[in-house]
Amino acid sequence: MIRKLFRIVDHADRPRFIRWIVLLVAFSVLQGVCVLAVVPVLRPLLDGDRDAAVPWLVVLAAVTAATCVLFYAQALHGQQIADDLLLGMHRRIGDHLARLPLSWFGTDRRGRLTHSMSQGTANIIGVPAHLMQPVISASVTPAVVALGMFVFDWRLATALFVAGLVLLATHQWAQAAIARSFGTIDSAAVESASRVVEFAQRQPVLRAFGRTGENNRLLDDALVGQRRAYGEMSRNAVIALIAFSTAVQAAFVALIAVGVTLALGGSLDAAELIVLLVLVTRFIGPLIEVVDHAAALRMASEDIDRIDEVLAVRPLPEGSVDRLSEPGEVRFDNVSFGYDDRQVLRDVSFAARPGTLTAIVGPSGSGKTTVLRLAARFWEVDAGAVRVGGVDVRELTTAALADQLAMVFQDVYLFDGTIEANIRLGRPDATAEEIHEAARLARVDEIVNRLPDGWDTRVGEGGVSLSGGERQRVSIARALVKQAPIVLLDEATAALDPGGEAAVTAALRMLAERRTLVVVAHRLHTVAAADQILVLDGGRITQRGTHAELIDQPGRYQDFWRERERAKGWRLTV
């Protein structure tokens, strides 16, 4: 536990941390000495000699005073460490997350992270603030008492040591058993939590098809599964939970029996026995106390592990080049890429020059969106190189790469702020005029006019208070205001509503002149106007050229075009 905690403490704070641990150990040792000092006080008292006890009482008082000073010092240290830790953890994790590859931010990260960052960090700082002291005292103080016992009676001391070893073994076993049973329940809890999220997100369809309450078998099965896993865990954990405290009590009774046997046998005098039994209770005491903190400690330990896991993920290496040789150019050289074991792009090469429009077409799953994402270095290529502005994206600084690109992607995310603030994200120093102009081009002004609070309307977490098409328009405005030399655009969802579609058209017209456009294209209009069409199929570029060049060749492109022409004329009913 100390080692775990030490790892997450800031480097600068480590000397203080070490001082704290030293203070803690010193306190625990002195506490043991206090307990041992009881013997010379109590012995004369039991023999009825009050005066002989007084000098030792003074000694005890002096040691106690020293112990108190140490306690006070360690407590202040511990609390200071707790405060610094809270601040440091948030900063370190924040800095770290910002440098992680996007692929890491998968499905169930959010729930875990929020827990780790809020309640988790609160649990962790409880360790230096309060929990560590009883834990260290529980191991050091009894050891000191047991050692001191040898001065008085080696047989009882040996019995104490044996008891100590048995208790240690019990403790280890119980902790392992508890950790095991908590592992199984964790997976059941994750399954149940993800069903709950599904339940909330899919509520409309569940209702429309009558799968509510117990009729929602998926959720109910997961809940029952969790109950079952919890029941199993309980069976194992209950035994483990009480094993240690039971062992401690058993050891106590056994030590009494040993002492009584020795005393009745005449080899231990009565007063000695009693005094030593008192020592035994003080040997046992801290051990009982630590049981009270076991649950909190285990929780904190798991929380540290979670944070450790996050910090252990390797961030994307940061490049150092910020001078571009070919500003505004996007070039793929023999790029191959796959997610996990699924190969997505194979040996893709192309170049998009400034002032041109490159349209990527192809069936779903052919890797079109992936091309855009690799250009923005959301992921690292497996082979080949992606160059932006003439430089391999891995060598560019994050800022230099970001300056080159503006993106409109499928998964539009808006921050909980005003519409204006969300557009401004594209370029924080844009003037109000520039923002309104971008908003006008992307038809955001129509949305703003409709909303009760206009520009100051808050969009809610993720932009929930706007429709999908509206969010898309805001994201287009955001990209427009950025005025980056390269624009990456995914038309897929942009085609959702006519307003969004018109906005895309406007954006394209505005952008196409001086910039480099790479578009995952669905609209025939865009495709036909492209300077270069790349036809992706199964992760490879199977055809390339202009519309005029490709339309007469038999192949994917011709099929695509015909299919789309047919779809255009479709009506729901005849």
Partner 1 sequence: MATRQAPPEQAEKSGGLGVVLTPVRGQLVVAAVLQLIGAVAGLAPYIAVVEIARDFLGAAVVDRDAVWLCVVVAAVGFVVRTICATTAYTISHVADADVGLKIRRDTARRLSRVPLGWFTERSSGQVKRVLADDVAAVHHAVAHVVNDLVAAVVTPLIALGYLFWLDWRLALLCLGPLVVWFGLVAYMMRDEGERTARWSAELDKVNAAVVEFVDGIAVVKAFGQAGRAQDRYRRAGDDLARFLSEWAGGMRHLDSLASMIISPPVMLLVALAGGVWLDADPAELVAFVMLAVGLGAPVLALGFGAQAMQVATDAASRVAKLLAAPELPGAAEPRRPAGARVELDGVRFSYDGRTFVLDGIDLVLEPGTVTALVGSSGSGKSTLARLLPRFWDVDEGAIRIGGVDVRDVSEQDLYRQIGFVFQETSMLRTSIGDNIALGRPDATRAEIEAAARAAQIHDRIMSLPRGYDSVVGEDAQLSGGEAQRVTIARAILADTPVLVLDEATAFADPESEAAVQDALSSLVSGRTLLVIAHRLHTIRSADRIVVLAGGRVVESGSHDDLIASGGEYARMWATQTAASEEPA
Backbone angles phi, psi at 537, to 5 degrees: -150, 120
Binding mask 463-502 for partner 1 (x = CB under 8 A): -x--xxxx-------x---x---------xx-xxxxx-xx
DSSP string covering 157-184, please? HHHHHHHHHHHHHHHHHHHHHHHHHHHH
Beta carbons of 225 and 246 less than 8 angstroms apart: no
Interaction between residue 179 and partner 1 (CB under 8 A): no
Binding mask 21-40 for partner 1 (x = CB under 8 A): ---------xx--xx--x--
Q: Residue 519 CB, nearest distance to partner 1 (Å)?
A: 13
Interaction between residue 510 and partner 1 (CB under 8 A): no
Q: Could you tell me the two tokens for 17?
A: 């941390």
| 3-state SS assignment for residue 87 | helix
- Residue from 60, 135, 167, 489 touching partner 1 (CB under 8 A): that is 60
- Residue from 9, 21, 23, 53 touching partner 1 (CB under 8 A): that is 53
| 3-state SS assignment for residue 300 | helix
Interaction between residue 405 and partner 1 (CB under 8 A): yes
Interaction between residue 323 and partner 1 (CB under 8 A): no
Q: Residue 150 CB, nearest distance to partner 1 (Å)?
A: 21
Q: Residue 320 CB, nearest distance to partner 1 (Å)?
A: 16
Interaction between residue 399 and partner 1 (CB under 8 A): yes
Q: Residue 336 CB, nearest distance to partner 1 (Å)?
A: 20
CA distances from 547 to 396, 530, 551 (A): 34, 7, 6
Which one, 349 or 365, has the nearer CB to partner 1?
365
Phi-psi region of 333 (alpha: psi -120 to 50; beta: other; left: phi over 0): beta
Interaction between residue 241 and partner 1 (CB under 8 A): yes
Residues 251-310 that bind partner 1 (CB under 8 A): 252-253, 256-257, 260, 263-264, 270-271, 273-274, 277-278, 281-282, 285-286, 288-289, 292-293, 295-296
In whole angstroms, what is the distance from residue 70 CA to residue 34 CA? 13
Interaction between residue 61 and partner 1 (CB under 8 A): yes
Q: What is the CA angle 412-414-420, rounded to 5?
A: 125
CA distances from 140 to 65, 212, 436 (A): 19, 57, 69
Interaction between residue 343 and partner 1 (CB under 8 A): no
Task: Identify the residue whose tokens are 């150990």.
Answer: 25
Residue 568 makes CB contacts below 8 A (sequence gap 6+) with 524
Binding mask 519-548 for partner 1 (x = CB under 8 A): ---xxxx--xx-------------------
CA 202 to chain centre: 25
Interaction between residue 57 and partner 1 (CB under 8 A): yes
Interaction between residue 90 and partner 1 (CB under 8 A): yes
Considering only CA atoms, which of 8, 34, 29 is closest in space to residue 128?
8
Total chain residues near partner 1 (CB under 8 A): 187
Which one, 227 or 349, has the nearer CB to partner 1?
227
Q: Could you tell me the two tokens for 160?
A: 């104490």
Residue 459 is given by DSSP the state: -
Which one, 288 or 321, has the nearer CB to partner 1?
288
Considering only CA atoms, which of 538, 240, 527 is closest in space to residue 367?
538
Q: Residue 325 CB, nearest distance to partner 1 (Å)?
A: 20
Given strand 532-537, what is the order of strands in its sheet? 405-408, 486-490, 516-520, 357-361, 532-537, 540-545
Stretch that binds partner 1, among 9-17, 123-131, 430-438, 534-542 (CB under 8 A): 123-131
Q: Residue 201 CB, nearest distance to partner 1 (Å)?
A: 5
Residue 365 is given by DSSP the state: T
Interaction between residue 102 and partner 1 (CB under 8 A): yes
Q: Residue 176 CB, nearest distance to partner 1 (Å)?
A: 19
- Residue from 110, 323, 509, 514 touching partner 1 (CB under 8 A): that is 110
Which one, 362 or 384, has the nearer CB to partner 1?
362
Residues 415-454 that bind partner 1 (CB under 8 A): 415-416, 425-426, 428, 446-447, 450, 452
In whole angstroms, what is the distance from residue 550 CA to residue 544 CA? 7
Residues 352-371 that bind partner 1 (CB under 8 A): 362-365
In whole angstroms, what is the distance from residue 343 CA to residue 310 CA? 27
